[in-house]
């Protein structure tokens, strides 16, 4: 068998084994769990205190946008760090393209932050 197909076959067998083991363990846990519902178990538990007010609060999407921007720059910074720490020679054109990419991302993030401040999502 070709090496590529052998590696793929190993991956498929491993994935199938993991999926099968997850299914078996989930089924065993489902079969042996105790099932005795009562009002106390079905009530909302909040640090040992009774719930006061509505359980759902209003959240601003502004924080979610900040989180998305953080994740985008976090992933980009990992790739740039890996590129910068590589042992290969860095030519001037690659450096220029990388700096242009960082500049575009910075401009986009400044635009997004200013848009958030103006709109107050």
- pLDDT tens for each residue of 31-66: 998 888 888 777 776 666 766 777 676 766 667 777
Q: Does 28 have pLDDT greater than 90?
A: yes
Indicate the number of domains in the chain. Answer: 2
How do residues 56-92 score in pLDDT, each as one tens digit?
Answer: 767 666 677 778 778 888 888 887 777 777 766 677 7
Residue 40 lies in a domain: no
Residue 50 lies in a domain: no
Residue 52 lies in a domain: no
On whether both 70 and 116 belong to a single domain, the answer is: yes
The pLDDT of residue 55: 64
Q: What one-character DSSP code corresponds to residue 103?
A: H
pLDDT-derived band at 25, boundaries 50, 70, 90: very high
Residue 46 lies in a domain: no
On whether both 26 and 65 belong to a single domain, the answer is: no
- The range of the structural domain enclosing residue 26 comes to 1-34
Q: Does 121 have pLDDT greater than 60?
A: no
Check if the beta carbon of residue 105 is closer than 8 Å to that of residue 76: yes
User: Torsions phi, psi of 52, nearest 5?
Assistant: -115, 125
CA distances from 34 to 25, 29, 100 (A): 16, 10, 60
CA 48 to chain centre: 31
Residue whose entry in the numeric block shows the structure tokens 């959240």: 59
On whether both 27 and 64 belong to a single domain, the answer is: no
What's the pTM?
0.40
């Amino acid at each position: 068998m070709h090496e590529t197909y052998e590696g793929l076959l190993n991956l498929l067998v491993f994935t199938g084994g993991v999926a099968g083991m997850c299914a078996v363990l989930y089924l065993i846990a489902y079969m042996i769990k105790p099932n005795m519902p009562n009002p106390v178990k079905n009530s909302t538990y909040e640090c040992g205190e009774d719930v006061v007010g509505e359980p759902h609060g209003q959240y601003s999407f502004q924080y979610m946008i900040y989180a998305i921007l953080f994740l985008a720059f976090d992933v980009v910074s990992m790739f740039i760090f890996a590129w910068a720490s590589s042992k290969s020679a860095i030519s001037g054109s690659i450096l220029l393209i990388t700096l242009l990419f960082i500049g575009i991302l910075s401009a986009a993030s400044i635009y997004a932050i200013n848009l958030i401040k103006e709109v107050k999502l």
